[in-house]
Amino acid sequence: MRSLFVMDPLHAIDVRGDSTYVTMRECCDRGYPVWYCTPDQLFIVDGRARVLATPVHVTAAPPHFDPGSPVELDLGDVDVVWMRKDPPFDMQYIFTTYILDMAPASTLVVNGSAGLKLFNEKLWVQAEFSKYQPPTLITNDIDRLRRFVRERPGRSVLKPWDGNGGRGVLVVEREDRNLNSMIELLSRGGQDHVIAQEFIPAVEQGDRRILLFDGEPVGAIDRVPQSADFRANMHAGASVERAELTDSDRELCAALRPALQKWGMLFVGIDVIDGYLTEINVTSPTGIQEINRLDGVRLEQQLVELVEARMRQGD
């Protein structure tokens, strides 16, 4: 199984917690050829999607990555393209999915490029699964945002629609004298849409990241914010604890499964706070290494075997 990983540069990868790293390593351990590229190394020639790709051998021991010399490939020269570029979900990201759309039918793209284009991680919840969210408003109307916050019985959360890793997430009080300034800053004076949600007090005890492979839950962790912060993101310094899936978690996963399978979302991470679904992470979800350490499993092995099975189905 020949794999191409579209990803951030190797020097930006933190091997202590990165899910892409252990997936690449699992492929190499199985003797599979692995190449990598950054999105800007994808291009089109006469209607064919091509790439300047670097072969790399990935190991558990430092220096972890042993790259070779770049070679030009057609996307039809590989069996699987793993789209693992971290956000932001910007026009460069979208353009990359257009190129991946041009991969031949014989090449599997994980996750499916059509789904990546269509479904923003925060907005997809509103589009199809809003009943699992707390009261939510998405708008660039400053007055409407202000009214939403002041009509809540308690605190509210404001965040950019295209943020990641906890960037720009604010908790505001109804009568906060800085409310107008915060809304103006987040919306850039009404130019950008902002997500406003009723605050879920349970977030102070953390949120839950659940990983799903082909719509099936395979593990979970609780992310507990630092005492001086309310953001339960690992990028923001949250600690990680072992979690057992509840009946509510499994019900939520079952509700998501048909849509995830329809759009080829083989590797997804969802974020849940007190039973509420806050995000469906499809671009570059993480959490494999944390679940591995806490549960004594090897999720990257399950993931690669899932892709192997999908490849056999396509033969």
Q: Could you report the per-residue pLDDT of 286-310, keeping only the tens digit for each?
A: 999 999 999 999 999 999 999 999 9
- For residues 150 and 241, state if they share a domain: no
By the 10 Å C-beta count (0-12 exposed, 13-18 middle, 19+ buried), 218 is classed as: buried
Domain assignment present for residue 176? The answer is yes
Average pLDDT over residues 120-132: 86
Same domain for 187 and 265, yes or no, is no
Domain of 151, CATH number, reads 3.30.1490.20
How high is the pLDDT of residue 89?
81
Q: Which residues contact 7 (CB under 8 A, 6 or more apart)?
A: 13, 20, 36, 37, 38, 82, 84, 85, 86, 284
Domain boundary among 78, 112, 146: 112
- Residue 143 shares a structural domain with residue 102: no
Domain CATH for 251:
3.30.470.20
Question: Residue 19 pLDDT more than 80?
Answer: yes
> What pLDDT does 205 receive?
82
Per-residue model confidence (pLDDT) at position 163: 75
Residues 92 and 178 reside in one and the same domain:
no
The SS3 assignment for 286 reads coil
Is 302 inside any structural domain? no
Kindly state whether residues 166 and 219 are assigned to the same domain. no
Residue 225 belongs to some domain of the structure: yes
> What is the residue type of 16?
R
Q: Is residue 151 part of a domain?
A: yes
* Higher per-residue pLDDT: 107 or 203: 107
Long-range contacts of 13-19 (CB under 8 A, 24+ apart): 13/65, 15/64, 16/289, 17/234, 17/286, 17/289, 17/290, 18/286, 18/289, 19/84, 19/284, 19/285, 19/286, 19/287, 19/288, 19/289, 19/300
Q: Are 106 and 9 found together in one domain? A: yes
Catalytic residues: 122, 159, 209, 223, 231, 271, 279, 281
Phi/psi of residue 209, each to 5°?
-100, 120
**ω into 111 cis (within 30 of 0):** yes
Are residues 191 and 249 both part of a single domain?
no
Q: Is the pLDDT of residue 238 over 90?
A: no
Residue-range definition of the domain harbouring residue 170: 137-197
Cα–Cα distances in angstroms (integers) from residue 105 to residues 73, 76, 95, 286, in the given order: 16, 8, 19, 27
For residue 67, report the phi and psi dihedrals to the nearest 5 degrees.
Answer: -80, 155
Do 274 and 179 fall within a single domain?
no
Q: What is the CATH number of the domain that holds 85?
A: 3.40.50.20
| Domain annotation covers residue 126 | no
End-of-domain residue from the set 112, 147, 182:
112
- Is 129 inside any structural domain? no
Cβ-proximal residues to 91 (8 Å cutoff; 6+ apart), any chain: none
Mean pLDDT of the chain: 92
Q: Give the distance, in angstroms, between the CA of residue 239 and the centroid of all CA atoms in the same chain.
A: 19
Domain-located, residue 304: no
What are 83's strand-pairing partners? 6
Neighbours of 273 (CB within 10 A): 21
Residue ending a domain, among 148, 182, 197, is 197
Domains identified in the chain, total number: 3
Asked if 72 and 58 sit in the same domain, the reply is yes
230 & 180 share domain = no
54-58, 201-205, 240-244: segment of lowest average pLDDT = 201-205
**pLDDT score recorded for residue 227:** 62
Task: Establish whether the linkage from the previous residue to 88 is cis, with ω within 30° of 0.
Answer: yes
The per-residue pLDDT for range 57-81, each reduced to its tens digit, is 999 999 999 999 999 999 999 999 9
Question: Beta partners for 138?
Answer: 195
Please state the pTM of the whole predicted model: 0.90
